[in-house]
Amino acid sequence: MCQSEKIEGIFTPTLVPLDDQGNINEDELRRYIDWLIAKGVHGLYPNGSTGEFTRFTAEQRRRIVQIVAEQTAGRVPILAGAAEANVRETLAACEQYADYGVRAVAIVSPFYYKLGQEAVYAYFREIALGSVIDVTLYNIPMFANPIDIPTIQRLAELPRIVGIKDSSGDMAFMLRMMAAVRPVQPDFTFLTGWDAVLVPMLLAGCDGGTLASSGVVPELTRTLYDMTRGGRHDQAMELQFQLLELFDTILFSAEFPEGFRAAVAQRGFNFGRSSLPRSEQQQLEFEAFAKQIHRILDEKGFVETSGGQT
């Protein structure tokens, strides 16, 4: 296990604002990074699913991480998504991100092609043996091949693999992972990627989370983390139910991650239009959703006046 500082706390999947031409709005991204850090997030997570990494070119993905690293300037650690189309390109991204000074990379299980667990193991093993930077596994069964517990246990034996982000939301699966891995790798990091169960996951022993909602209400997710770690469990659960309402509304009322982009606009940022085209019907539905999320955020005291999204 690498002796670097352990990855823990709330890491925010970094959404990417776009300008009128669909290019990265670098100034707005830098402003957003400063805002997230000021609101108390423990770390940043560019090039995740919420950050739409598959919709950018490899060059754009590297630029996103570079901007995040420059603007963060060491204030918080960075866990950067480094998944590319093949092992060689993934390792090249790992090397580049190490040069930028990120703490570790997150690599999603192979997607598109259906693979067995031995193939999943071989994929991550080759990356781990060739990487110059620590690696966290990224288990997101809704989008990629799942990683089962025996495979995670085997991979945890490799020095470069220091943790896992699990976005299944499955509490029993998380408990079984921790039971299987911690006896042999006590410093292995477990992060939940499912906002709806943040407090229960922390109470079960998770080290933190990479949460899409932390990009919208970073102060709320930080408070939930601090309350749970501080033993204020009843108060934390009250806030967890507030986060649950917000998360469910954003996640299920618009195509992922469009809802989160619209919600961030209510916090005073201009994220521009989606990278994907919308039909007229989708645009009407999106505008109705934006009004709904504005109402919910306003009721909770999270609406700010500048910026906006259309």
Each as own residue / partner, the long-range contacts of residues 233-242 (CB below 8 Å, 24 or more positions apart, any chain) are: 233/199, 233/203, 236/199, 237/199, 239/199, 240/198, 240/199, 240/200, 242/300
Q: Report the chain's mean pLDDT, rounded to a whole number.
A: 94
Q: Which amino acid is at 151?
A: T
Quick one: which H or E segment has residue 308? none
How confident is residue 275, by pLDDT bands cut at 50, 70 and 90?
confident
Ordered domains of the chain (ranges, CATH) = 9-232 (3.20.20.70)
Read off the pTM.
Answer: 0.93
Mean pLDDT of 283-304: 88
Q: Is the pLDDT of residue 2 over 60?
A: no
Between 260 and 276, whose confidence is greater?
260
Does residue 306 register a pLDDT over 60?
no
pLDDT at 309 over 80: no
Task: Name the pLDDT band for 268 (thresholds 50, 70, 90).
Answer: very high
Residue 48 has pLDDT above 50, yes or no: yes
